[in-house]
């Protein structure tokens, strides 16, 4: 085979291998860029969810602290009392207390017992019952806050796991694409080398000069 034809075959093989390498590199870069963009989007979504749920989590934590203190499970007693009093002030407790005391006093006055011990007992019973009622209501409200906070925390934990899983999947896909691109480039070069060696062998051309017998042995001793 003429040397020019052999050279043309070799050149075409090298050009083809180079084009395959460029294409493989582009594919690998595209996969990496896509993974990075997807990861950034997943991060934005997670941070947005975190911003939405953090206030509920914080409120739940605060409510749990107040609940534990109210139940005698820890905390600062003064702070617990202040929190409960603040809660009572925000409800109709004082109004109901005043109305109830007036009603009891009027009832006892009508019976001629305004200055009796029974009035004191009646007022004490009413006040204790009302305080207990609002205490139970306070506990229930705190429990609701704790439950809401726990739900938000669990939701955020699930979203965090989903975020980590999706980022891992994106990175794994990019790594697989990059590895496949590398294999493709290597195969292209192996094919090019094989084509070139075959062309040299068929053309009877030796790397070491002179004519050949139509075969090529890269390991033949020089001058042998």
What digits encode the pLDDT tens for the residues 72-115?
A: 998 788 999 999 999 999 999 999 999 999 998 888 787 777 66
- pTM exceeds 0.85: no
**Beta carbons within 10 angstroms of residue 131's beta carbon:** 14
**155 vs 38: which has the higher pLDDT:** 155
pLDDT of amino acid 21: 56
| pLDDT, tens digit, 9 for 90 and up, residues 121-143 | 898 999 999 999 999 999 999 99
**147 vs 188: which has the higher pLDDT:** 147
- Backbone torsions φ then ψ of 211, nearest 5 degrees: -80, 160
**For range 4-19, the mean pLDDT:** 48
| pLDDT, tens digit, 9 for 90 and up, residues 179-215 | 666 555 555 555 655 555 455 555 544 444 444 444 4
Long-range contacts of range 169-176, CB-CB < 8 Å, 24 or more positions apart? 170/34, 170/35, 170/38, 170/39, 170/42, 171/35, 171/39, 173/31, 173/35, 174/31, 174/32, 174/34, 174/35
Confidence of residue 41 (pLDDT cuts 50, 70, 90): confident
Residue 173 has pLDDT above 60, yes or no: yes
3-state SS, residue 111: coil
Q: How many CA atoms lie within 13 A of 194 on its CB side?
A: 6
pLDDT of amino acid 140: 96
Please, what is the average pLDDT of the chain?
Answer: 76
């Amino acid at each position: 085979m003429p040397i020019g034809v052999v050279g043309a075959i070799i050149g075409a093989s090298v050009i083809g291998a180079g084009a395959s390498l460029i294409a493989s590199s582009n594919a690998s870069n595209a996969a990496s860029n896509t993974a990075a963009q997807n990861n950034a989007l997943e991060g934005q979504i997670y941070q947005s969810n975190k911003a939405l749920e953090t206030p509920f989590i914080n409120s739940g934590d605060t409510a749990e602290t107040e609940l534990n203190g109210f139940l005698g499970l820890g905390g600062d007693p003064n702070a617990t009392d202040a929190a409960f009093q603040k809660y009572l002030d925000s409800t109709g407790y004082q109004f109901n207390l005043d109305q109830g005391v007036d009603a009891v006093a009027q009832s006892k006055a009508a019976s001629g017992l305004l200055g009796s011990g029974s009035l004191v007992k009646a007022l004490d019973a009413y006040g204790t019952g009302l305080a207990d009622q609002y205490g139970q209501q306070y506990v229930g409200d705190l429990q609701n806050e704790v439950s809401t906070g726990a739900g938000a925390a669990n939701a955020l934990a699930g979203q965090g796991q989903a975020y980590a899983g999706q980022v891992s999947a994106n990175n794994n896909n990019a790594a697989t694409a990059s590895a496949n691109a590398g294999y493709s480039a290597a195969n292209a070069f192996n094919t090019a080398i094989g084509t070139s060696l075959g062309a040299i062998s068929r053309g009877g051309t030796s790397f070491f000069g002179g004519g050949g017998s139509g075969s090529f042995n890269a390991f033949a001793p020089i001058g042998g």
